[in-house]
Amino acid sequence: MPGERLTVDDAFAAYASGTAYQAREESRRGAISVGMRADVVALDTDPWMVDPMEWRGVNVIGTWLAGQRTYG
């Protein structure tokens, strides 16, 4: 139902700051900020420019974990 959908911002926050908060690590990760640890995913399409019903077509082209490339 449309009223139960998350916005793109809310969905990404759930994966970033939400998981950091759940792990009680929000002082070290979960935000893009100086001194914060970050894992990164690179997508082939800007998710803010795609209809959410088409997200299945967005591909991961690279991932980094603790500064090390792990995929792509």
Model pLDDT, residue 63? 94
Domain boundaries, the chain: 1-35, 39-72
Task: Give DSSP secondary structure letters for 1-70.
Answer: -GGGPPPHHHHHHHHTHHHHHHTT-TTTBSS--TT-B--EEEESS-GGGS-GGGGGG--EEEEEETTEEE
pLDDT for 58: 94
Contact (Cβ atoms closer than 8 angstroms) between residue 65 and residue 39: yes
- Asked if 28 and 19 count as a contact pair (C-beta separation under 8 A), the reply is no
In this prediction, residue 49 carries a pLDDT of 94
Which residues of the chain fall below pLDDT 50?
Answer: none
The predicted model scores a pTM of: 0.70
